[in-house]
Amino acid sequence: MKKTVLILYNKLSKKPKDDEADVIEQVNLVTVALQNLHYEVGYLQIDLNLKTAISRIRAIRPDIIFNLAETLGNKGEFTFLANSVLNFVRIPYTGSPLVPMFQCSNKYLAKKELNAIGVKTPKGFSLDECHKLLPAKKYIVKPIWEEGSLELDEDCVFMGSDSDFITRISGKSRQHYFIEEFIEGREFNVSILYSENGPEVLPLAEMTFHDYPAGKPKMMGYKSKWDDTSFEYSHTRRTFKLGREDGPLRKLIAEICQKCWNELGLKGYVRIDFRVTKNSVPLVIDINLNPCLSESGGFMAASKKKGLTFEEVITRVLEDAIR
């Protein structure tokens, strides 16, 4: 008898932007893979009516739940609620568990967790700590909860000496924004996938910024990810061609990824983003649990570079869910 996999995904808002709507592409891709792997496939959209979701899951009684829920109500604060439901119904589900999902969904809390396990990350400050900013350093104001680089672009970058900018951000919510030191240097998106021998770090992807004008911050923001009409989108490229001189850096980044996986209790599939200083010191700037599985996304690009098919990736994710 075929096992049933229930694909859980977030109900879209009435006019979803591309970063929200891409979950439908992921649902379609995962469906085909599961069918090719001879699973029965079911579907459930989840919103903030958690009681209804619990009742429907119990009525369907799937063997495994494939968790593609990204946010609920398109609000980053609710990202972990799908995990809360899945934790409550006690059915094996894909991706990382509830506790690391909560910790990593809150970017400011994630920094504290990284500091606790000895992993380097750029210095972070609450909006109440603007007096600690150094005039000669560059900073970025970031949303605490939002994914997909929402509200994150070069307009968020400022100098510690820019009193007018600091005055403007002082009116923002302390519960929704924080400040991070902006690291001038290379940027890497690193994908990690479960394997029988432990977390496997897939080929490192470097995000390169071509023909950027002098002074323009080189960063992966919302425009470079989602706005195909923008300069940032057309001038930002992913490359897996690291030089031989990057051998020590590649090794160090892989060790950091494995440490994050093991000590933070991550599972299934993860993407960790780094900025690397001019002195070749890698700093973690974001931990993305259950990253996007669309064909154009970084995780699947790294998987293909490794030679893995989509079905092989899904098989490993399912294996980690049930072990």
Task: Say what the pLDDT of residue 15 is.
Answer: 79
How many CB atoms within 10 Å of residue 198? 11
Strand partners, 282: 276
64 by Cβ neighbours in 10 Å (0-12 / 13-18 / 19+) ranks as buried
* Predicted confidence pLDDT, tens digits, the chain (323 residues): 789 999 999 998 887 777 778 899 999 999 999 999 999 999 999 999 999 999 999 999 999 999 999 888 888 889 899 999 999 999 999 999 999 999 999 999 999 999 999 999 999 999 999 999 999 999 999 999 876 555 567 788 999 999 999 998 888 888 989 999 999 999 999 999 999 999 999 999 999 988 888 888 888 777 887 778 888 888 889 999 998 999 999 999 999 999 999 999 999 999 999 999 999 999 999 999 999 999 889 999 999 999 999 999 999 999 999 98
Chain centre distance of CA 201: 15
What Rg do the C-alpha atoms of the chain give, in angstroms? 20
- Residue 138 tokens, joined: 């560059």
Dist. CA 272–CA 260, nearest whole Å: 9
The answer to whether 42 and 6 are in contact (CB under 8 A) is yes
Please give the domain boundaries of the chain with CATH numbers for all domains.
Answer: 4-93 (3.40.50), 103-120+185-204+240-322 (3.30.470.20), 124-181 (no CATH)
Nearest to 56 by CA among 47, 322, 94, 69: 47
Task: Say what the pLDDT of residue 151 is.
Answer: 56
The string of DSSP letters for 60-110 reads: H--SEEEE----BTTBGGGTTHHHHHHHHHT--BSSS-HHHHHHHHSHHHH
Residue 273 — φ and ψ, nearest 5°? -100, 140
Task: Say what the pLDDT of residue 218 is.
Answer: 82
Task: Say what the pLDDT of residue 39 is.
Answer: 98
Dist. CA 69–CA 289, nearest whole Å: 11
Nearest to 20 by CA among 8, 6, 9, 36: 9
Dist. CA 223–CA 156, nearest whole Å: 13
Q: Which helix (H) or strand (E) holds 23?
A: helix 18-36
How many CB atoms within 10 Å of residue 99? 13
Dist. CA 163–CA 40, nearest whole Å: 59
Residues 6+ apart with CB under 8 A from 159: 135, 136, 137, 138, 139, 165
Strand partners, 237: 208
- Residue 289 tokens, joined: 């649990």
Residues 6+ apart with CB under 8 A from 157: 138, 139, 140, 182, 217, 219
Task: Say what the pLDDT of residue 211 is.
Answer: 87
The answer to whether 154 and 217 are in contact (CB under 8 A) is yes
Residue 10 — φ and ψ, nearest 5°? -75, 140
Residue showing tokens 């109900």: 11
Nearest to 290 by CA among 192, 223, 196: 192
Dist. CA 261–CA 257, nearest whole Å: 6
